[in-house]
A and B are shown apart, each in its own frame.
Chain A
Amino acid sequence: MSKSTEKTSPKSLGLLVEFEDQHQLLKACEAVRDAGLTKTDAHVPFPVHGIDEALGIRKTMLPWLVLAMGLTGGISGLAMQYYMNATEQPGMLLSGYPYMISGKPTFSLPANIPVTFELTILLSAFGAFFGMIALNKLPVFSNPLFRHKNFARATNDRFFLTVDATDPKYKGQKHREMLEKFSPVAIDEIEADPSCDQIPKFMKYVVIVLLAALTVPPMMVWNARNTTSPHPRIHPIQDMDNQLKKKTQTTSPIFADGRAMRPRVPGSVARGEWQPLEFLTGVVPGGEATSNVALLQDEEKPAEDKPAAEDKPAEEKPADEAKPAEEKPADEKPAGDKPAAADAAAEEKPPEPDWVTTFPETLEINAKLMERGQQRYNIYCAVCHGVSGEGNGLVSLRAFELQQPTWVQPTNLHDPNVTKQPVGRVFNTITNGIRKMPSYEAQITPEDRWAIVLYLKALQKSRDATIQDVPQIEADALKGQGN
């Protein structure tokens, strides 16, 4: 403090020229501009047209800054949404989380426009606001002009022109004389602040205390992260986190089954999911005993009580007991050549449903469906029936290895009884199960079930196919291999 007490003459920072009206000011500005000075400024109580030009102020680059910021906002908004919603590279750092909303594509432009638009506006506004502040070199806490006794009138009725002494073309006396010609009220030197520019000593301690206080919040956060608390976490913004609603996979006391998720009302069909009854059941509607319920009874009862009436050996029953009867139902309708002497057991049981004999028309039979069928077969069927369909799947082999007493060998799908079955019947077996085999209705969609039937039919045919069944090109290739 002792140093600053010695008084020196204040340093001149430039000229402050005071005018009574704007026209004098504008003329003076033009003169200063023409003299080649650039570090000049005018201070006026209201916007004066043409002053930018008179002072030779360059056009502001602010619009370009705003445009650039706006484009940045728009592009980053789009990119952010694309990254978050539409990129999927498992395990990679640069991967978003594709989350389907309202059945829209993960990257759908209309949904992304609001965010893009808002970010464009936000960054444009930031560009304009902070760009203006930066271009004006703000904030400035103090300006030597404020010490001038008359300068306050710049907001009222006086017009000022300042010429900075740091301008390389500035020559104090010469310019002062030049400006005298415009009959200003006064021309004053702007003086540098003569007061001490040292920070008071006690401020050092204030800053230290403040810095110390600043470490408290992070320490509290660190503490909170490393201890447990019986209190629920602070939830300042509720959004819609706590609602009177049930979420998926939760319980509810309202319903008898205790589930919050409601199953589909029996008999209802969702919009767009309607399929012909043949497609869903494998049975031609309108035939004898065609309802799905009747089918179930038909299959279940004999499976438990009257295995002899069925076409396949039932569990825990000797195979030979079932065998005599098994051929009849299989041949009954599709083959059309009923055995003349239908035996008593077959007479007793309700008539066979009217099985669908060809694939439903709504199904597109192609190689893709065949591949799908093969894939589904290998997932659901091959474990028991074996990949080749001979009833020697891995589960079955293991069961025999362990000598499980209740295990019955799965049906050999190449057995003539199965190969003769119409497609509707095979479909029905997959849908509702048979004997030991459970129903696969819940796991496999109707279309996939038909795909499996398609593959199975191909698998069966492959067993007794001749060279005539093979396309010529393939046959030639096979011959070539043989040679």
Chain B
Amino acid sequence: MGHHQKQIKVSNDETIRLGDIRSVLMVGGYGAGLAGMLVALVMGIMAGDRLRHFFFAYLTNYLFFLSIALGALGFIALQHLTRAGWSASVRRITEIIAMTLAPMALLFLPILFSVLSGSHSLYEWNNSELVATNHVLAGKAPYLNSTFFAIRAVLYFAVWIAAARFFFAKSTAQDESGDPSLTLRMESKSPLVVAAFALTVTFASIDWAMSLDPMWFSTMYGVYFFAGAMVAFFSFTLICCSVLQSWGKLTEVITVERYHDLSKFIWGFTLFWGYIAFSQYLLYWYGNIPEETGWYLVRQNDAWRNVSLLLLFGMFIIPFLGTMGRAVRRNRALMVAWAIFLLVMHWVDIFWLVMPQYSPDKLPFGPMEIACLIGLGGFFIGNLAWIAAERPLLAFRDPRLTESLTLENM
């Protein structure tokens, strides 16, 4: 009711800080992370395939959590670019998620070192014997080689960490000073971040996931990865909001309107993902050119066919219809269920992108994947709690916060 001039008191106290929960999250997260990674590593060494399975499972889960963090960075830049008011009350949470990109850079080191040491368990293009006999790979060698791969990886992380730190530092500084000019600073830099984000995410997805099959190429791949990342990010943020509220945090400031807004984005990016996935598929299906269809052929045959169908229905058709209604979007419990469902589907999506390269004829889902999921997931949660520290979970002096708190969906 707009005319009752809603007065929402934002108090700078325990209700907008993690407090005691933080140490629990850090111990639990890092503990699960270490245990999971250790188990996965031991299993990987025992497997005797030169850690091949381990690296593939690691990469799958790494890209899953990285995509959530990347989605957060893209989201923040977009909110500042469009001078959005609605998101002010959830933006700090997304800033914390985006800040996990810094520890994510450390977790990329195993992959980077394995490539630099000349291992080709993950990336075939790192196999000099194969490249020597393969015209296509020889032609791509100036781009796909371990040195340039490392340089690019460093560049991507430099850009992401710089951008995430910039937004986080300015936003937390505003908690102290309440200076609205900081918002203007962030807005003025956001176009640059959006441009850099678009390029780095595209190239990173090509480098780390698409080049697993170095013979194949898709100009749509970066957009596809981005679309999935945004679905995962919005779902994760919605779950974060709900979990924080169930712990008694931010209870006043995150209203049903914010859940509604986040759900609209979930729905929109689900449609976008379906649109992009189909755009990529249709051209290859129609052209039916061997070097282009090979990638899909693996994913259309044997066990992978069911995963492809699962994605079609689980990532697009079912959630598209399921989250279409206004009543669903304004139902917090229902939307949390949809968000969990979509996170699982996004994991399946990354699994579907990466794993057929390791095991083209049967589903490799097993203890290794679960151990890596627990390991990297534990690190991710631990990182979130570590970054959140004793900082407010709400940008309580953001000049647009009042707008966000009183905004209602028509």
Do chains A and B interact in one complex? yes
Chain A residue with minimal CB distance to B284? A110
Pair B288/A113 contact, Cβ less than 8 Å: no
Pair B285/A110 contact, Cβ less than 8 Å: yes
Q: Does B46 sit at the interface, judged by CB under 8 A? A: no
- CB neighbours (8 Å) of B3 from chain A are 22-23, 26-27, 48-50, 54
Contacts A49-B408, A102-B288, A103-B288: A114 and B282 contacting too (C-beta < 8 A)? yes
The CA of A50 and the CA of B408, in the complex, are separated in Å by 9
Q: Does B281 sit at the interface, judged by CB under 8 A? A: yes
- CB neighbours (8 Å) of B410 from chain A are 47, 49
Pair A111/B286 contact, Cβ less than 8 Å: yes
Pair B282/A49 contact, Cβ less than 8 Å: no
A27 to B: closest C-beta gap in Å: 8
Chain B 72-107, CB-CB to A under 8 Å as 1, else 0, gives 000000000000000000000000000000000000
Pair A110/B1 contact, Cβ less than 8 Å: no
Contacts A110-B281, A113-B278: A50 and B286 contacting too (C-beta < 8 A)? no
- CB neighbours (8 Å) of A103 from chain B are 288
Q: Does B48 sit at the interface, judged by CB under 8 A? A: no
Chain B 237-277, CB-CB to A under 8 Å as 1, else 0, gives 00000000000000000000000000000000000000000
Q: Does A53 sit at the interface, judged by CB under 8 A? A: yes
The CA of A48 and the CA of B1, in the complex, are separated in Å by 9
The CA of A63 and the CA of B286, in the complex, are separated in Å by 35
Chain B 1-42, CB-CB to A under 8 Å as 1, else 0, gives 111000000000000000000000000000000000000000
Pair B282/A113 contact, Cβ less than 8 Å: yes
Q: Pick the contact of B2 from A49, A104, A111, A114 — CB < 8 Å?
A: A49
Pair B282/A48 contact, Cβ less than 8 Å: no
Contacts A47-B410, A102-B288, A103-B288: A53 and B1 contacting too (C-beta < 8 A)? yes
Chain A residue with minimal CB distance to B1? A50
- CB neighbours (8 Å) of B1 from chain A are 49-50, 53
B272 to A: closest C-beta gap in Å: 13
- CB neighbours (8 Å) of A47 from chain B are 410
Within 8 A of B (CB), among A71-130: 102-104, 110-111, 113-114
Chain B residue with minimal CB distance to A101? B286
Chain A residue with minimal CB distance to B282? A110
A59 to B: closest C-beta gap in Å: 9
Chain A 14-43, CB-CB to B under 8 Å as 1, else 0, gives 000000001100110000000000000000
Chain B 311-333, CB-CB to A under 8 Å as 1, else 0, gives 00000000000000010000000
The CA of A110 and the CA of B285, in the complex, are separated in Å by 8
A47 to B: closest C-beta gap in Å: 7
- CB neighbours (8 Å) of B288 from chain A are 102-103
Pair A48/B286 contact, Cβ less than 8 Å: no
The CA of A166 and the CA of B282, in the complex, are separated in Å by 58
B274 to A: closest C-beta gap in Å: 10
The interface centre, meaning the residue of A26, A54, A110 with most chain B CB atoms within 10 A of its CB, is: A110
The CA of A111 and the CA of B288, in the complex, are separated in Å by 12
The CA of A113 and the CA of B282, in the complex, are separated in Å by 9
Pair B286/A110 contact, Cβ less than 8 Å: yes
- Please report the total number of B residues contacting A with Cβ < 8 Å: 12
- Please report the total number of A residues contacting B with Cβ < 8 Å: 18
- CB neighbours (8 Å) of A53 from chain B are 1
- CB neighbours (8 Å) of A23 from chain B are 3
- CB neighbours (8 Å) of B285 from chain A are 110-111
Q: Pick the contact of A102 from B278, B282, B286 — CB < 8 Å?
A: B286
The CA of A102 and the CA of B284, in the complex, are separated in Å by 12
Chain B residue with minimal CB distance to A49? B2
- CB neighbours (8 Å) of A26 from chain B are 2-3
A107 to B: closest C-beta gap in Å: 14
- CB neighbours (8 Å) of B2 from chain A are 22, 26, 48-50
The CA of A284 and the CA of B229, in the complex, are separated in Å by 62
Chain A residue with minimal CB distance to B406? A49
B3 to A: closest C-beta gap in Å: 4
- CB neighbours (8 Å) of B408 from chain A are 49-50
Chain B residue with minimal CB distance to A114? B282
B2 to A: closest C-beta gap in Å: 3
A286 to B: closest C-beta gap in Å: 33
The CA of A54 and the CA of B2, in the complex, are separated in Å by 11
- CB neighbours (8 Å) of A111 from chain B are 282, 285-286
A405 to B: closest C-beta gap in Å: 58
B404 to A: closest C-beta gap in Å: 14
The CA of A47 and the CA of B2, in the complex, are separated in Å by 10
A34 to B: closest C-beta gap in Å: 15
A41 to B: closest C-beta gap in Å: 17
- CB neighbours (8 Å) of A48 from chain B are 2-3
B407 to A: closest C-beta gap in Å: 9
- CB neighbours (8 Å) of A113 from chain B are 278, 282
Chain B residue with minimal CB distance to A23? B3
A170 to B: closest C-beta gap in Å: 25
Within 8 A of A (CB), among B270-320: 278, 281-282, 285-286, 288
B39 to A: closest C-beta gap in Å: 42
The CA of A22 and the CA of B2, in the complex, are separated in Å by 10
- CB neighbours (8 Å) of A104 from chain B are 286
- CB neighbours (8 Å) of B286 from chain A are 102, 104, 110-111
Chain B residue with minimal CB distance to A59? B326
A156 to B: closest C-beta gap in Å: 20
- CB neighbours (8 Å) of A114 from chain B are 282
The CA of A49 and the CA of B1, in the complex, are separated in Å by 6
A106 to B: closest C-beta gap in Å: 15
B289 to A: closest C-beta gap in Å: 11
B325 to A: closest C-beta gap in Å: 9
The interface centre, meaning the residue of A48, A49, A103 with most chain B CB atoms within 10 A of its CB, is: A49
The CA of A47 and the CA of B407, in the complex, are separated in Å by 12
Chain A 41-63, CB-CB to B under 8 Å as 1, else 0, gives 00000011110011000000001
Chain A residue with minimal CB distance to B283? A110
Within 8 A of B (CB), among A220-274: none
B9 to A: closest C-beta gap in Å: 20
Chain A residue with minimal CB distance to B6? A49
- CB neighbours (8 Å) of A102 from chain B are 286, 288
Within 8 A of A (CB), among B340-363: none
- CB neighbours (8 Å) of A63 from chain B are 326
Chain A residue with minimal CB distance to B281? A110
The CA of A171 and the CA of B410, in the complex, are separated in Å by 32
Chain A 296-335, CB-CB to B under 8 Å as 1, else 0, gives 0000000000000000000000000000000000000000
- CB neighbours (8 Å) of A22 from chain B are 2-3
Within 8 A of A (CB), among B182-213: none
The CA of A113 and the CA of B280, in the complex, are separated in Å by 13
- CB neighbours (8 Å) of A49 from chain B are 1-3, 408, 410
The CA of A27 and the CA of B3, in the complex, are separated in Å by 9
The CA of A26 and the CA of B286, in the complex, are separated in Å by 58
The interface centre, meaning the residue of B1, B2, B282, B286 with most chain A CB atoms within 10 A of its CB, is: B2
Chain A residue with minimal CB distance to B325? A63
The CA of A344 and the CA of B126, in the complex, are separated in Å by 72
Chain A residue with minimal CB distance to B279? A114
Chain A residue with minimal CB distance to B288? A102
B258 to A: closest C-beta gap in Å: 16
Given contacts A26-B2, A63-B326, A110-B281, 10 further A-B contacts (CB under 8 A): A22-B3, A27-B3, A49-B3, A54-B3, A102-B288, A103-B288, A110-B278, A110-B286, A113-B282, A114-B282
- 8 closest Cβ pairs, A-B complex: A49-B2, A26-B3, A50-B1, A23-B3, A50-B2, A110-B285, A49-B408, A110-B282
25 CB-based A-B contacts, threshold 8 Å:
A22-B2, A22-B3, A23-B3, A26-B2, A26-B3, A48-B3, A49-B2, A49-B408, A49-B410, A50-B2, A50-B3, A54-B3, A102-B286, A102-B288, A103-B288, A104-B286, A110-B278, A110-B281, A110-B282, A110-B285, A111-B285, A111-B286, A113-B278, A113-B282, A114-B282
